[in-house]
Every structure is written in C-alpha cells, then in structure tokens.
Chain A
Amino acid sequence: MTTFDRLQDDLPVTLIELADERMPDYVDDLLGRTAASSQRPAWSFPGRWIPMADLVAERTFVPRLPWRALAVAALLALLIGGAIWFAGSRHRVPAPFGPAANGVIAYATAGDVYIGDPVTRASRVIVGGPEDDGSPVFSPSGERIAFLRAHGAAAFDLMVVALDGGTPVRVTGDPITADTTVQWTADSRSLFVWSPSTSELERLDATRQADPVVIARNVVVERGAVRPPDGRQVVFQYGDTSGNSDGLFLMDVATGQTTLVRPVDSADDHGYQFNHPKWSPDGTWISFTRQRGRAGSSDGGDDQRVFLVRPNGSEFHQAAQEPGTVVEDDVAWSPDSTRLAANRWKQNAAGEWLIQPIGVITVATGAVADAGPPPVPDGSLFDWSPDGAFLLGLPGAHATPGSAVVDAPTTIDVATGDARPLEWTVQTAVSWQRAAP
C-alpha cells in the first residue's frame, strides 16, 4: 500500500478525530436569533416561475369576415386577400424587447395549458392530457410556448409546444428542479437553462434538433440575466469563472470573458449584495436587490432595497428612498425601461412585516407609487403588460410549479390602481403575449 492509499483510507477517521464533534454552545443563542427574525415570503425566491418579462408575440386572433353574403368570386377574393394578410401578419413581430401591444394570456389549470383573450375572456386548451403541466411562457416569436411538465414528485421536464398545435417536445434531457432558471433567447429558437445543481448555463434547442451548448460554468444565473437585445452578455453574481472573487460580473457569451461590474462592499458583512440581477429591457441598466447589515440583527439586516447600476459600473444607486425598514423584492421592469415594479413589505414598530401594494418606482426620480390593493402577505406574482399600462398578477395565493393552490389572475391599471380579476383560475404563473402594434 502506498502513502497515497494510506492517506486516502485514513482520511475519514482522521477527519472525524479532527472534527471533535460536540453540540456547539451557541445553539440556544442562535435559535433565539432565528426566532426573532422573520421568514422570507415564499414568493420572493428565484425560479418559482419561468420569466414573463422577456416575452414577445405576434398575432392574436384572425378577425371575422362580416360579409358572408357576398358572391362566391368575391368571397374567394376575400379569402385570398385574407390569406395574404395572414401571411403578412406572421412577419409583424415586435422587437424582442421594449413596449408592444397586448396579446393573449397563457395560463395553466388542472395540469393543462390554455390561452385566453383578456378582453373577450374566451379561452382554449393548448396542451391537454393526463400530464401535470404548468408555468407556460411565450417565446419571443409568439409561435411557441415553453412549459414545465411534472416528472415525479419534485422534478420537471421543460417542454415546448407550437401555439398552433402539435406534439410537445421535451427540451431537457435530465429532469430539472423548480429552482432552475429558464429564459427564451431573443430569436425564439433556443432556451437558456441554468441549473443550481451544476452551476452551468446551457443553451437548449427548442426543437431538440441541435445538441445542448454549455455557455458558462461556475456562475449563478437568474431570470432576466441575459442582456437585451442580442443576448451577448449574461450578468451574474458571486465568483468569477475561477471562483476566486466576489462581485457582480458580466460574461461575454461568445468568448467566456468576464468583466467586473461592481465588487462586493467589504464593509458590508452581509452575503447578499447582488441578488437577482436583471437587465432593463433596453439593456442600459442592471437592477438587483441588496440586503444591508447582518441578517436577523438589529443593524438593519432585514432591510432590502432595489439598486441600479450601469453595465460599466457607473451610476450605482438605490432606486428608491422610502423611509423605514423595507423589503423590496420580485422586481419587474416596465417594457419601456422607465419604471420598476416590486413587491414590498414594511416593518412596523412591533417588528411585524406588513405587505404593501405593489410599488412602482420611477427610475429617473426614485419616486414610488402604490399600484392596486395590497396582495396576500406573501406578495403577488406579477409582471407588466406588454404595453406597460397594466400589471398582471396572482395576488391571492402561491403559484409554484406543482402547487395545488388556485388563484385568479388580476390586472391592475397602473395609472388608476383599478384591479380586475379575470375569470380563469390558474395554478401556476401566467404569461402575457406581446403583439405587434
């Protein structure tokens, strides 16, 4: 037996001896601190739903022809004209990012995927059957919907189905977990998938005709991390590709080269400094949330705000200056990149966290305005309408993949605060299709 073999064989026992296992004397104090601190709302975890913010679509419904009594020749002419119009409309796709017209809404209930018209409230099933499907999200082209299909108790297959029918295609090889990040590429041909179990960012072909491509390794990539409009950069937090330094980084997708946007503030002892980095739709800002002080301590550790920084690291600042101890989370950019919406909670004098109406922050001024009534204490799962006039949310219950909780999607008029529930019941996040103006 070599020294190497002996070392390897002896290591488990040696490490147990070195470990000197005993109940730490600080456990009671530790549990006292946890008891005094609050839990984070279940809503505010990345990966509970696949992103709605980067969605684009095109056609909605073909208009009816009202003149049925016309002669056959005229009808034929109209049909030909309609066909030409329809073919033309397929190319009237809005840009992948920025304001667009509001299209249909994709949602899931009872394990099936539907699309519905928010104006007429008419809906139809897109994916039925015995499988448990949820979390639909439109491709930028509007021709496909990605969704999660339950695979066992806590795993999912990422599926893609064409909006005009056909058999869903399983895009992922191995099942993914609910905390996997999924985002369509701007050309609608692929999906970026990041798994926390591998820390790899992969690009998967939406038709599964091409092999997966690993874009980056040893990164933490969340929804909204791929830079509009061309996806050439990914923003991520924590270590660089060699895992040696902390901060907010950009990675060039083509070359793998990383650039430091902002280093961690070593004077801030909290580990969460660049949470959920997300690009503005015009690609000029990066937003993230930042906790301050030590979690659970009395030095403001529970305070969490939205911060902004330019891709070159300049203009780093807190987005809004609301007084008090506040948690802002679940940030969504308006399509025109001028506003941010966020769930927010305020701590009262008794230390209780009180949910507030969704806050709409004006980027240029830092002003915050309430949008609609307060949702349930966990906050709302929401995003902007493609035209930026509404927020579409699930204000009444959780909507995680695999959840049995049913909720009604609700539109909130950002200008008036008027909240109107739609008639459909849903079990997972909804996705509002973008249409050509």
Chain B
Amino acid sequence: MDQRHLVERARGGDHEAFSTLVRAAVVRLDAAARLILRDRDLAQDAIQEAMLRAWHDLPGLRDPDRFDAWLRRLTVHTCIDVARKRRRRMIEVELDPLDLPPVADATRAIAQRDLVDRALAVLEPEWRAVVVLHFYLGLPLHEVAAALGIPEGTAKSRLHRSLVILRESVGTSRGEALAALREGQTA
C-alpha cells in the first residue's frame, strides 16, 4: 500500500495505517530530535508529543502527499517547544551531553565527530534545527524554512552563521585538544 493511501486511511481514523506511517518515519525523526535537543529523554518526550499531535490533528491534513513534510514540521516545532520549556527550567536540570566521550580522553576528543558534537552544543536549538534539517535530513533551504515556519532568508542566514560558529568552535576545540596532547606529552 502506498503512503498516500495510508495517510488517507489514517486521516479517516485508521490507527493501523497511522502505526505503519509512524514506524516508517520515527527512526529518522527520533534521531533528528536527539540531534536538535541533545538529550535522549527530551527527544523521546518531543517525539511522543509530536506523534500524539499528529494523530490528533491528522484529519486537518488536506494533501496526503505533504504528510512527510507535515510530520517533519510538527516534530521540529515540538522539539523547539520542548527546548524552550527546558530553557525555562535550566536552573533545575542541566542539559545532558549526547553520549560524549570523557573530556580527558584527548585522543578521542580530536575526532571530528566529537568536535562537531561539542560545537553543535554551542548553538541554540532553533539554529541547530536548521543545521540538522539541512545536513542530516537533507532538506533544501526552502523546505527547512517551511519546516521551521521562518522565511527562507532567515533560514539561510541562520545556517551560514551556524556554520561560522561551528567552524570557530571546532577550530578552538581542535586547538585545545592539541594543546592537551602537547601537555600530556610533555608532562
């Protein structure tokens, strides 16, 4: 059964069809949510909230062919909502790192993955979402803008400035890591 048919059935209240759609989409959306929120529990909350909203609001989706974009938009918006709520509660609980290696492990710290991971942490969730949608989900900028509900120009500038920040952070971390290595070698 093609996706359009599944969406039409789900829109009419067929929960089995909805389950099939969710199972097909949730792996990437969950991963995107973790990248944006940098916290597995928060990501889980966001995905659950987004899927509940999706089921709840699905009858309002007019074009079944837009389901993927609609679900993506819903998920990203929910992530940002969750991040904003979290921001208000930052005093209570600090954000968790995303499976970061021990800082002292200088050898691993110079790995590109970890440098990028730490650099991503510098960005606000709204900006991180632009990076994730563009570079992880592979969306062109106009679709990134649509998913986030922002003008394309804003998405473009956020992406550019995010890359500048990432570059600076990666560069700084690389320098710190090299310095740590040197210190270790000379100690």
What residues of chain A have their CB less than 8 Å away from a CB belonging to chain B? 3-4, 7-8, 10-12, 14-24, 26-27, 30-31, 33-35, 37-42, 44-45, 48, 153-154, 177-179, 196-200, 217-218, 220, 243, 245-246, 266, 269, 271, 294-296, 400, 402
Contact = CB atoms under 8 A, between A and B. Distances in A.
Q: Choose among B19, B49, B60, B163 the residue with the greatest number of A CB atoms under 10 Å from its CB.
A: B60
A16 B136 contact: yes
A102 B102 CA distance: 74
A19 B38 CA distance: 10
B56 A154 contact: no
A12 B138 contact: yes
B150 interface: yes
B182 interface: no
Interface residues of B, number: 62
Contacts of B56: 37-40, 295-296
Contacts of A22: 27
Contact of B149 (A42, A196, A295): A196
Nearest to A219: B149
Interface of B: 13, 15, 18-19, 22-23, 26-28, 30-32, 34-35, 44, 47-49, 51-53, 55-60, 62-63, 65-66, 78, 81, 84-85, 88-89, 98-99, 112-113, 116-117, 120, 126, 131-132, 135-136, 138, 145-146, 149-152, 154, 163, 166-167, 170-171
A153 B120 CA distance: 40
- Interface of A, secondary structure class, is loop
Contact of A31 (B22, B30, B58, B126): B22
23 contacts: A4-B167, A7-B166, A18-B116, A18-B117, A19-B32, A19-B35, A23-B27, A24-B47, A26-B48, A27-B22, A30-B48, A33-B52, A42-B60, A45-B60, A153-B63, A153-B65, A154-B63, A154-B66, A179-B60, A197-B149, A266-B85, A271-B49, A295-B53
Contacts of B99: 20
Given A18-B117, A30-B51, A8 B60 contact: no
Given A154-B65, A178-B62, A218-B150, A7 B163 contact: yes
A297 B57 CA distance: 16
Contacts of A19: 31-32, 34-35, 136
Given A266-B85, A271-B81, A24 B52 contact: no
Contacts of B22: 27, 30-31, 34
Nearest to A33: B52
B136 A8 contact: no
Q: Choose among A20, A153, A200 the residue with the greatest number of B CB atoms under 10 Å from its CB.
A: A20
Contacts of A245: 84
Contact of B136 (A12, A48, A266): A12
A316 to B, nearest CB: 19
B38 to A, nearest CB: 10
Contacts of A294: 49
Contact of B135 (A11, A35, A177): A11
A20 B31 contact: yes
Contact of A34 (B32, B52, B62): B52
